[in-house]
Amino acid sequence: MELRVVAFDHPDAQELTEQVQQEYVVRYGGTDATPMRSAEFAPPLGLFLVGYLDGRPVGCGGWRTVSAQEPVLRDGDAELKRMYVAPTARGHGHARRLLAELERTAATAGLTRMVLETGIRQPEAISLYRSCDYAPISGFGLHKDAPGSRCFAKPLVVSMSA
């Protein structure tokens, strides 16, 4: 999978974020209403990636800088948003590669921790995050009090390898 940095409002990013929203409809009965603006995912405050296979967009994800506005959040946190791999491309390690690149770019940008919120109806996501050393944290954000919401965090480290 070829990963490209794109604007959050790029047509391929929008197509994939619409697909992830439809996945939420199937799994939760509605879309995620978390407010997000394209500027939040523009460097240096954030980043959005689209993954391509044979020129087709099949995966996406981004991070945005968040501040310690809630007790569980800290200055230096990056929030992971809209991680998604299309069903036809799943099972080949693309999500793991996408996640690793998002962590790397956030660490390179000087951020010290990645935080995220997902839900219990996404067991594949929870399994991925746990296998990548994410630890449970208290809830934050729009869904912090939702019984099916699960939040995780992972310290970020800048890799010295080239």
The rounded radius of gyration (Å) of the Cα atoms in the chain is: 15
pTM: 0.94
Is 63 within 8 Å of 78 (Cβ atoms)? yes
In-domain check, residue 161: no
Number of independent structural domains in the chain: 1
Give per-residue pLDDT as tens, 39-89.
999 999 999 999 999 999 999 999 999 988 889 999 999 999 999 999 999
Quick check: is 122 in a domain?
yes
Q: What is the pLDDT of residues 87-120, one digit of tens each?
A: 999 999 999 999 999 999 999 999 999 999 999 9
29 domain-assigned: yes
Whether residue 159 has pLDDT greater than 80 = no
Can you give the residue range of the structural domain that contains 78? 2-155
- CATH number assigned to the domain comprising residue 34: 3.40.630.30
Distance CA 162, CA 159 (A): 8
Average pLDDT over residues 137-142: 92
Q: Return the pLDDT at 44.
A: 93
- CA-CA-CA-CA torsion sign (107, 85, 123, 20): positive
The pLDDT of residue 142: 87
**Are the C-beta atoms of residues 98 and 85 closer than 8 Å to each other?**
yes
